[in-house]
Amino acid sequence: MGIDWGTVSAVLTAGGTLVLAVASFGSIRSAERAARSAERALQVSLRPILVGARPTDPQQKLIWTDGHSTHLTGSAGYAHLGEDVIYLGAALRNLGPGLGIVHGWSLREGDTPVDPADFRRQGLDMYVAPSDHGTWHAALRDPADPAFAVLADQVKNRQRINVDLLYGDHEGGQRTIARISLLPRQADDGWVCQTVRHWNLDRPDPRL
């Protein structure tokens, strides 16, 4: 019985095509992995990590839009009850390699933060440079706001004040919520800023 070279040729062609397909698939998978690795590396290089400032960080000045001002030294926080206004502030440090921008804040007592859409927006973006110190400040100016009476009571009685800060990188990504606590200092009438926890909004939570 003779060899059917047409069949042999078809089989060899099909085998070669299969080998090329497998090689192409492997190359595509490898390229996808390389692209994902490059994307992760880029995100890491842009990622800010905001925490309370170090006790040794230098003094910084905070100025509100109405001209109210104060100075914060080291890891200090700030809570002051004025006439129909409550001023809040904190000294921060960016532990990450990317520029951090604080977009909003929220007063929160629960175990989890509120929805990002419900955060109180900053009047201006607050920038904290990579591996550097900076500040955050805001004010509650409406006594009719349900949160006003609660916050005023916390300030007057010098109780812990929890504030959630919504921030991200300078491209608007990697949104993160950092919870800080303003704690009354025992030695004087000042406050200390303590970092409590972070929640990732645009990437998996490492705790889960």
Task: Tell me the pLDDT tens digit for each residue of 152-178.
Answer: 999 999 999 999 999 999 888 999 999
Both 82 and 41 in one domain: the answer is: no
Tell me, yes or no, whether 111 lies in a domain. Answer: yes
Q: Has residue 205 been placed in a domain?
A: no
What does the pLDDT read at residue 108?
86
Residues 110 and 33 in one domain: no
Predicted local distance difference test score (pLDDT) of residue 23: 64
pLDDT at 8: 55
Alpha carbon distance 182, 35 (integer Å): 42
pLDDT surpasses 80 at 32? no
Are residues 38 and 62 both part of a single domain?
Answer: no
Higher per-residue confidence, 171 vs 182: 182
State what percent of residues in the chain have pLDDT above 90. Answer: 67
If you count them, how many residues does the chain have? 208
In a domain, 207, yes or no: no
pLDDT at 25: 64
Does 63 lie in the same domain as 8? no
Name the token pair of 130: 């990579």
* Per-residue model confidence (pLDDT) at position 115: 95
Q: How far, in Å, are 7, 9, 23, 24, 59 from residue 16 at the CA level?
A: 14, 10, 10, 12, 71
Binning pLDDT at 50, 70 and 90, where does residue 10 land? low
Would residue 93 count as lying in a domain?
yes
Residue 88: is its pLDDT beyond 90?
yes
Res 75 pLDDT > 60: yes
pLDDT above 70 for 42: no
pLDDT of 111: 86
208 inside domain: no
Average pLDDT over residues 12-18: 68
pLDDT at residue 2 in the model: 63
Two tokens, residue 82: 């004025």
By mean pLDDT, which of 23-27, 72-76, 112-116 is the weakest? 23-27
Q: How far is CA 137 from CA 41, 64, 176, 185, 186, in A?
A: 32, 8, 18, 19, 22
Instruction: Clarify whether residues 126 and 40 are in a common domain.
Output: no
Q: Which residue has the higher pLDDT, 203 or 35?
A: 203
**Residue 207 above 80 pLDDT?**
no
Burial of 28 (0-12, 13-18, 19+ CB in 10 A): exposed
Same domain, 102 and 25: no
Mean pLDDT (the chain, rounded): 87
Residue 12 pLDDT class (50, 70, 90 cuts): low
Whether residue 9 is predicted with pLDDT greater than 90 in this model: the reply is no
> Same domain for 22 and 68?
no
Number of neighbouring beta carbons within 10 Å of residue 129: 12
